Amino acid sequence: MSTPIETDICVIGGGSAGLSVAAGAVQMGARVVLIEKSRMGGDCLNTGCVPSKALLAAAHHAHALSRSAEFGIHTSPPTVNFAGVMAHVRDVIAEIAPHDSVERFERLGCTVITDHARFTGKNELVAGGQTVRARRFVIATGSRAAIPPIPGLGDVNYLTNETLFENTTCPDHLIIIGGGPIGIEMAQAHRRLGARVTVIEQGSILPKDDPDLVAVARHALEDDGISLYENAMAKRVEPHGPGCRITMTHKGAELTIDGSHLLVATGRSPNIADMGLDLAGVECAKGAITFDARLRTSNKKIFAIGDVTGGLQFTHMAAYDAGIVIRNALFRLPAKINYSAVPWVTFIDPEIAQVGLTENAARARHGNDIRVVTWDYAENDRARAERQTCGLIKVVTTASGRILGAGIAGHQAGELIGLWSLAISRKMKIGAVAGHIAPYPTLGEISKRVAGAWYTPSLFGKKTRKIVRLLLRLG
């Protein structure tokens, strides 16, 4: 064991959250040690957001070609080279990888250790044959695919998001257990690239989204030819030829489905095993590290951010959490998290985006003292021009007009939700959105129109007409 490394901040985990802290801290003058036992960039770059969105982009292109006749353009049906699609996915990863590489972070001034880290005390750990002592530690070890205890699952070669993108052969029939964002995105991507797809979900698909938005997604998925089994339970899995057979219960009956490939997409589990957290005085609950509003663990000199906390598992939370940690660890400011305006997007076609409270959540918190307004994509001229009229926007406010939440199901929903995230974070009222000028013709007009609809009952009501008639009589 060599001489211990003394540093200001030691970051454990080279995924989005850890890299954001390391890059920010070292460029502000802190000494930083960064430890990553596997691939730099973590899940997002290698097995999550980047490859999944690259695969979805290919699927969207294939689908666009298949419906070009709607625009008066006639082409032959597209031929999908699935191995070529996966080569595209790998190319996208390779293009981004240098930004997350060991070399870049060493150039920034970080000391990078590529090994597993294990705490040996409250202010030190060992990794790569080195002892590291730090003023502050940041645990950002991410998460892994959660594997449900389905009998027989271990007897088949199932896929997770960590192995899915290594497959270069289009599945004949892909069965997906799990109807959350990962399962639904991969269902549509593979269907549009030529596979038969079946999704088995024990509840409703996309359970965290507003049911009105989910209804749009459900219709689109079924229109693509995806078989959805909601409120279904996978009971057992067994090998069947080169593939597998799933037995499930659905609507009181027992069904069996044979597939060539099986994808398990039933959530994520934090990576906290064999880290010596007990020696560091870091408490855990329900398989995740506990933390306070400043992202500090029970050892106040150790922070936990990103998926390892078991909280909001979105890559865009990495930079936000990193900012909270840097303000606390470097500047000693008591910065606290506020997750009330965190947007999320499911990147299917049409996209599903949500921020703030859904209608059901708003009613649970505020009772009936809320107002709900909607506006259809079919009423938007840009959506008509692009034949993207499927969808709606839905906004929830207090009775006085303060915006509580917004959800969008439709083309480019992920790009449109940012306005509502800003509005909620700044505690704006609906009038601020109604009063802004949106360029024509854009999808952005949808936000202005739904905000304007909030005023329709009063603006065009009997009282307003009475006032207008009176004023007109006065000259």
* Number of domains observed in the structure of the chain: 3
| Residue 17 resides in a domain | yes
Nearest CA to 435 out of 425, 449, 421, 424 is that of 449
Residues 172 and 223 in one domain: yes
The two most distant CA atoms of the chain are separated, in Å, by: 93
Task: Confirm or deny that 466 is annotated as ligand binding.
Answer: no
Residue 376: predicted pLDDT: 98
DSSP readout, 391-451? -EEEEEEETT-BEEEEEEEETTHHHHHHHHHHHHHTT-BHHHHHTSPPPSS-TTHHHHHHH
* Residue where a domain stops, chosen among 231, 266, 301: 266
Residues 177 and 239 in one domain: yes
DSSP readout, 219-249? HHHHHHT-EEE-SEEEEEEEEETTEEEEEEE
Residues 349 and 448 in one domain: yes
Residues 141 and 203 in one domain: no
| Residue 284 resides in a domain | yes
Q: Are 304 and 289 in contact (CB under 8 A)?
A: yes
Integer Cα distance of 299 and 122 in angstroms: 7
Residue 247: predicted pLDDT: 98
Residues 258 and 308 in one domain: no
Residues 434 and 405 in one domain: yes
Domain holding 421: CATH number?
Answer: 3.30.390.30
Task: Confirm or deny that 181 is annotated as ligand binding.
Answer: yes
Task: Confirm or deny that 346 is annotated as ligand binding.
Answer: no
| Residue 287 resides in a domain | yes
Residues 23 and 124 in one domain: yes
Integer Cα distance of 140 and 220 in angstroms: 36
- Please, where are the H alpha helices in 129-210? 161-164, 181-192
Residue 318: predicted pLDDT: 87
Residues 164 and 122 in one domain: no
* Residue where a domain stops, chosen among 237, 266, 295: 266
Residue 416: predicted pLDDT: 98
Task: Confirm or deny that 272 is annotated as ligand binding.
Answer: no
Task: Confirm or deny that 185 is annotated as ligand binding.
Answer: yes
Integer Cα distance of 323 and 333 in angstroms: 11
Residue 396: predicted pLDDT: 98
Beta-bridge partner residues of 405:
356, 396
Task: Confirm or deny that 179 is annotated as ligand binding.
Answer: yes
Domain holding 230: CATH number?
Answer: 3.50.50.60
Task: Confirm or deny that 200 is annotated as ligand binding.
Answer: no
Task: Confirm or deny that 150 is annotated as ligand binding.
Answer: no
Integer Cα distance of 366 and 249 in angstroms: 37
| Residue 141 resides in a domain | yes
Residues 138 and 210 in one domain: no
Task: Confirm or deny that 36 is annotated as ligand binding.
Answer: no
Task: Confirm or deny that 252 is annotated as ligand binding.
Answer: no
Residue 105: predicted pLDDT: 98
Residue 1: predicted pLDDT: 54
Task: Confirm or deny that 326 is annotated as ligand binding.
Answer: no
H or E element at residue 122: none
Task: Confirm or deny that 178 is annotated as ligand binding.
Answer: yes
Consecutive sets of 10 residues in the chain, 475 residues long: mean pLDDT of each?
90 97 97 97 95 98 94 92 98 98 98 98 96 98 96 97 96 98 98 98 97 98 98 97 97 97 97 97 94 98 95 88 96 95 97 98 95 98 98 97 98 98 97 97 98 90 82 84
Residue 404: predicted pLDDT: 98
Expressed as residue numbers, the domain containing 294 is 5-40+101-145+269-329
Nearest CA to 362 out of 400, 408, 401, 397 is that of 397
Residues 138 and 281 in one domain: yes
Residues 286 and 258 in one domain: no
| Residue 470 resides in a domain | no
Residue 145: predicted pLDDT: 96
Residues 255 and 302 in one domain: no
| Residue 74 resides in a domain | no
* Residue where a domain stops, chosen among 219, 235, 266: 266
Residue 473: predicted pLDDT: 86
| Residue 50 resides in a domain | no
Task: Confirm or deny that 204 is annotated as ligand binding.
Answer: no
| Residue 71 resides in a domain | no
